[in-house]
Amino acid sequence: MMKILILSLSLLLISAMNTAYASDEDLMVVDENQTTAVNQTALSLALSDEASGLLTSLEEEGLLFMAEEEKLAGDVYSALNEVWNLRVFDNIGRAEQTHQAAVEMLLERYSLAVPANQAGEFSNESLQSLYNDLLSRGGLSVEEALRVGAAIEEMDILDLQERMAQTDKEDILLVYSNLKRGSENHLRAFVNNLERRGVQYSPVHLSQEEYDRIIEG
């Protein structure tokens, strides 16, 4: 009887783990080129199962910042695609729109104002300055544009890690952790595009150890 009970509990645990894993995987849609979009329907369902509560000032600041940083990525890639007409910018640019929408889903959940969606315009002055600089650099050459893309993903990874350390809310962590996975995939995609052009990329913001872990992953 005891063996049957232990076996039943083990099967239930395995089933629960598999269900959680599948649910998490369903939140992200990854194609053969590492482009990673958020499944908005799956995310909405996942968030409905999580408690919300009151935000700290750091959590609120983090959500507003990350919404605009994800917008920055999409805006830069869209603008660079207009200049260079590269599939990687088109694909990842459209994926970044779903990343932005994922954070905005949290903003709406916590009754925070969603930032204006005018392309190339940001309420955060540091992000506005960064956008202008990245767009200028990306217009110099195709290779520099791809380096800009990789650098953006590095910054996104670090900022998401920082914001994750500032919260214990499961709904926010769910979104941030999946966006981090997406940024890691996008970093690999930009590096792969550079390597196909014979360009060796070196990390600008990440440590070499962290960068190597992501690329090798």
**12 or 102, which is more confident?**
102
* Tens digits of residue pLDDT in 59-97: 999 999 999 999 999 999 999 999 999 999 999 999 999
The three-state DSSP-derived secondary structure of the chain is CHHHHHHHHHHHHHHHHHHHHHHHHHCEEECCCCCEEECHHHHHHHHHCCCCCCCCHHHHHHHHHHHHHHHHHHHHHHHHHHHHCCHHHHHHHHHHHHHHHHHHHHHHHCCCCCCCCCCCCCCCHHHHHHHHHHHHHHCCCHHHHHHHHHHHHHHHHHHHHHHHCCCCCHHHHHHHHHHHHHHHHHHHHHHHHHHHCCCCCCCCCCCHHHHHHHHHC
Q: Is residue 4 scored above 60 in pLDDT?
A: no
Q: Is residue 15 scored above 60 in pLDDT?
A: no
pLDDT of residue 25: 61
> Which of 5-19, 84-98, 119-133 is predicted least confidently?
5-19
What domains sit in the chain, N to C, each tagged with a CATH number? 2-216 (1.20.1260.10)
Q: Is residue 14 scored above 80 in pLDDT?
A: no
pLDDT of residue 52: 83
Q: Is residue 46 scored above 80 in pLDDT?
A: yes
Averaged over 37-55, what is the pLDDT?
92
Q: Is residue 9 scored above 90 in pLDDT?
A: no
Averaged over 45-57, what is the pLDDT?
90
pLDDT of residue 59: 98
Q: Mean pLDDT score of the chain, rounded to an integer?
A: 90
Averaged over 24-49, what is the pLDDT?
91
Q: Please answer whether residues 214 and 208 qualify as being in contact, where contact means their C-beta atoms are separated by less than 8 angstroms.
A: no
